[in-house]
Amino acid sequence: MTAVASPVRPLADRRALVLGLGRFSGGVETVKFLARAGARVVVSDTSTAEALADSVRAVEGTGATLRFGPQTPSLLDDLRPGDLVVASPAIPFEHPVLVEAARRGLERTSEIELFAARVPCPVIGVTGTKGKSTTSTLLANMLRASGRRTHLGGNVGHSLLNELMGMRADDRVVLELSSFQLHDLRRIGFRPSIALVTNLFPDHLDRHGTFDHYAASKRAILDAQEPGDVAVLPGADPLLAAHGFETAGRARRVRFCGVGEPGGGPGVRVRDDGGLADVEGLGDRATRGTADGTDLGVFALWGAHNRRNAAAAAAAAIAAGCSWAEVRAGAAATQPLRHRLEPVHEAGGILFVDDSIATTPQSSAAALEAVPRPCVILVGGKEKGASPASLIAAIAARARAVVGIGTSGAAIVEAVRRSTRVPAVVAPGGPDLVAAVRAALALARPGDAVLLSPGYSSLDQYASFAVRGDEFARAAKAAAPAAVPDA
């Protein structure tokens, strides 16, 4: 089973305009891949060479021409029909350059399409609104525990383009996929051998416009699947059902469930102690309970949502041929990912936890449930169109106090004051998080956690959630010099 059935056109001697060099691996790896394949590459980015200095250095020697500044249709003037325009996921769907490229008959593609069209081994695709990176990492570790040579990449932050030459037919690829990437992959009939969907709720509506458009992009992971493929879905999810995930494609369905969730049919469940158990309905490998009666042991990831992520990964791993011993070993080997409920500092009995990846109210609500301490939570950032109701409810139930940050921080604080008894303040102004952390410390008690789980995008103040998380860690260490060793 291959990722895509479309024929692959050679890249040698074709011109390629790359829209977006960026600070992460996708743009750089795309330039290197195209240049190695013999394409004549021009790169355009709206930032400056100084701001992208590391990326500029990384593509030195490729022969690519770099252009910085506004991206207008004039960038296309040297291209002819059959040439390429390679857009990063950050480029809006209807960007004027892309619209004009289509009018001129130029081929539009992306880093993830270039990879998916050429990958020589089975691909397990992972998507969902939240939990993608953690679930993908758990799944990759389970496959590795089985001895399978496994590559992890995609939206998790690592491009696999330039690893293609070293991939073998019996390898496995775990590919985390965003809605933006899947929107592009529809063009080439992307078909993963196993597709895993963690969940679905509104997100990125500032880009997609409507929930229907967002959901349709996510659903592309299933649309081209055939009867020999597997779709791993939650046991019961009304939003997935309402948006056609239950009937999309023709793959066999495998189910997973989290603690306390209605099963909606057989699946994988997770006990409250973190042990993976009660497995049924997984075809020829079905068992009831773990194979040897033992539990997972120490599972390092906090929260019911992460046990649910482990259940999702386990269902996909079993479908891929892993044993339960291998599933448990892979889960036990998985540590918290950067900026995902990551302890970054401890001082005076107060633990500082970076969950900057939480860019939806629902994910911040899950973080409050997960952290095993009372929390002073830092919330706010750039709006993406989602309702804050779930976050406000979680704050009322679980938070010690709230500090509002970013452009939406004041509105969240006002909502908390209006509908709960939880103390809430707006962080004093400033370009960094030091003042916000100090405000949180004034509200915290020994034994508490100061939790950065904003529930909103970082793009009002920071280049990415990772930059925001790193700033939080620095601010914590500046505001609260360690009285005990760092966590």
Tell the residue number behind the tokens 């939206």, with chain if given. Answer: 155
120 lies in the same domain as 104: no
At residue 288, the pLDDT reads 29
Strands (E) across 177-225 are located at: 194-197
350 lies in the same domain as 470: yes
Residue 320 lies in a domain: yes
Of the residues 109, 128, 157, the one at which a domain ends: 109
Q: Are 360 and 385 in contact (CB under 8 A)?
A: no
- Count the domains in the chain: 3
Residue 484 lies in a domain: no
306 lies in the same domain as 379: no
Nearest in space to 281 (alpha carbons), one of 308, 311, 305, 310: 311
Q: Are 105 and 81 in contact (CB under 8 A)?
A: yes
Q: What is the CATH number of the domain that holds 66?
A: 3.40.50.720
159 lies in the same domain as 196: yes
Residue 82 lies in a domain: yes
Quote the CA–CA distance of 306 and 23 in Å, as a whole number: 29
Residues in the chain: 487
At residue 484, the pLDDT reads 39
pLDDT tens for 82-99 read: 899 999 998 999 999 999
Residue 201 lies in a domain: yes
End-to-end alpha carbon distance in the chain: 44
Q: What is the CATH number of the domain that holds 437?
A: 3.90.190.20
405 lies in the same domain as 298: no
300 or 151: whose pLDDT is higher? Answer: 151
Strands (E) across 406-468 are located at: 424-426, 449-452
158 or 294: whose pLDDT is higher? Answer: 158
Residues 349-366 have a mean pLDDT of 93
303 lies in the same domain as 353: no
At residue 205, the pLDDT reads 83
Of the residues 269, 302, 332, the one at which a domain ends: 332
Q: What is the CATH number of the domain that holds 153?
A: 3.40.1190.10
At residue 304, the pLDDT reads 79
69 lies in the same domain as 139: no
414 lies in the same domain as 399: yes
Quote the CA–CA distance of 241 and 256 in Å, as a whole number: 15
CA 347 to chain centre: 30
Of the residues 332, 367, 393, the one at which a domain ends: 332
The vertex-456 CA angle with 452 and 460, nearest 5°, equals 100
At residue 323, the pLDDT reads 85
Query: What's the pTM?
Result: 0.81
| Domain span at 72 | 15-109
Residue 2 lies in a domain: no
88 lies in the same domain as 187: no
Residue 391 lies in a domain: yes
Q: Is the pLDDT confidence value at 260 over 50?
A: yes
pLDDT tens for 401-455 read: 999 999 999 999 999 999 999 999 999 876 679 999 999 999 999 999 999 999 9
468 lies in the same domain as 350: yes
The distance between the two most distant Cα atoms of the chain, rounded to a whole number of Å, is 66
151 lies in the same domain as 246: yes
Beta-sheet pairing, 150-154 with 123-127? unpaired
Of these ranges, 190-204, 304-318, 381-395, the one predicted with the greatest mean pLDDT is 190-204
Dihedrals phi, psi of 226, to nearest 5 degrees: -110, 170
In angstroms, the Cα distances linking 484 to 186, 314, 350 are 52, 37, 10
152 lies in the same domain as 193: yes
Residue 198 lies in a domain: yes
Residue 9 lies in a domain: no
